[in-house]
């Protein structure tokens, strides 16, 4: 006779991935910031639920992460805007929300900037970023759904969702805890989402220098 076996339960450092699970804030913190947790695991907390994802390490996610970062930097350079960018940083509103978007951007002058160190950015002290970007393939539907609601609650001004499989960008303006789709950025005025989409496509057939030269041509034309 063969005895039925069941898989061992997930440990505190090995929770189920890609699911929103009920949890208290304290339980989330214990799992998300356990020293034994994988360094490439990303953590989210919203509406009494937690979610964990492993950062994709393949070609598409790695390449599609680059254009948004370059676009923000070079557009700000041409338009003489002040921006501060963070890659995969933890954003925390204590007791309520936490997230780790692929890119977070503060735009303009602020009385105080987050200090150096490896602690999550305290949104109660420094406020939310003006722009956040999520790059996903398997997580794309979640990026459009629960995560969009999360960023609405945090008070982010603009949210870009990039589908790494389709080279597609969907942008939302956020205000009054709601959002609407937009074709032109509001935090980077004059920037068309069509330029962002074209830059995503160009990463498949051009080297990075060619893509950046093309971006600079577009941005200088906008600024002329």
pLDDT confidence of residue 52: 96
Rounded Cα–Cα distance for residues 124 and 184 (Å): 29
Ranges of each domain in the chain: 57-223
**With 90 as the cut, is the pLDDT of residue 199 above it?**
yes
DSSP annotation of 65? T
* Burial zone of 21 (CB within 10 Å; 0-12 exposed, 13-18 middle, 19+ buried): middle
Residue corresponding to tokens 């735009």: 107
Q: Residue 52 and residue 71: Cα distance in Å, rounded?
A: 28
For the stretch 107-137, pLDDT in tens is: 998 878 888 888 999 999 999 999 999 998 7
pLDDT at 113: 83
Model confidence at 49, in pLDDT bands (50, 70, 90)? very high
What is the reported pLDDT for 54? 87
pLDDT confidence of residue 1 = 47
Work out the average pLDDT over 197-208.
91
In tens, the pLDDT along 58-112 reads 776 677 778 999 999 999 999 999 999 999 999 999 999 999 999 999 999 887 8
pLDDT at 9 over 70: no
Is residue 76 within 8 Å of residue 83, measured between CB atoms?
Answer: yes
- Per-residue pLDDT tens over the stretch 139-180: 888 899 999 999 999 999 999 999 888 889 999 999 998 999
For the chain, first and last CA: distance in Å? 80
pLDDT at 4 over 70: no
Residue 5 has pLDDT above 60, yes or no: no
| The pair of three-digit structure tokens given for residue 88, joined into one six-digit string | 């995969």
Q: Within 13 A of 196's CA, how many CA atoms are on the CB side?
A: 28
Instruction: Order the strands of the 178-182 sheet from edge to edge.
Output: 83-87, 103-107, 131-136, 158-163, 168-175, 178-182
In degrees, rounded to 5, the angle at the alpha carbon of residue 110 between the alpha carbons of residues 216 and 68 is 30
The CATH number corresponding to 57-223 among 3.10.130.10, 3.90.1570.10, 3.40.47.10, 3.40.30.10 equals 3.90.1570.10
Q: Which pair of tokens denotes residue 8?
A: 């061992």
């Amino acid at each position: 006779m063969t005895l039925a076996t069941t898989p061992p339960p997930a440990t505190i450092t090995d929770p189920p991935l890609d699911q929103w699970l009920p949890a208290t804030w304290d339980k989330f913190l214990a799992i998300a910031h356990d020293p034994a947790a994988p360094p490439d695991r990303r953590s989210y907390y919203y509406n009494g639920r937690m979610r964990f994802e492993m950062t994709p390490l393949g070609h598409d996610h790695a390449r599609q992460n680059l254009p948004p970062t370059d676009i923000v930097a070079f557009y700000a350079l041409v338009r003489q805007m002040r921006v501060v960018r963070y890659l995969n940083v933890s954003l925390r509103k204590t007791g309520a929300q936490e997230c780790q978007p692929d890119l977070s951007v503060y735009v303009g002058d602020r009385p105080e900037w987050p200090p150096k160190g490896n602690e999550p950015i305290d949104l109660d002290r420094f406020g939310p970023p003006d722009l956040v970007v999520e790059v996903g393939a398997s997580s794309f539907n979640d990026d459009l759904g629960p995560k969009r609601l999360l960023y609405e609650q945090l008070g982010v001004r603009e949210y870009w969702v990039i589908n790494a499989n389709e080279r597609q960008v969907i942008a939302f303006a956020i205000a009054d805890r709601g959002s609407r789709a937009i074709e032109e950025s509001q935090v980077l005025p004059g920037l068309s989402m069509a330029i962002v989409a074209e830059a995503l496509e160009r990463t498949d057939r051009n080297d990075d220098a060619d893509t950046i030269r093309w971006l600079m041509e577009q941005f200088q034309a906008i600024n002329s």
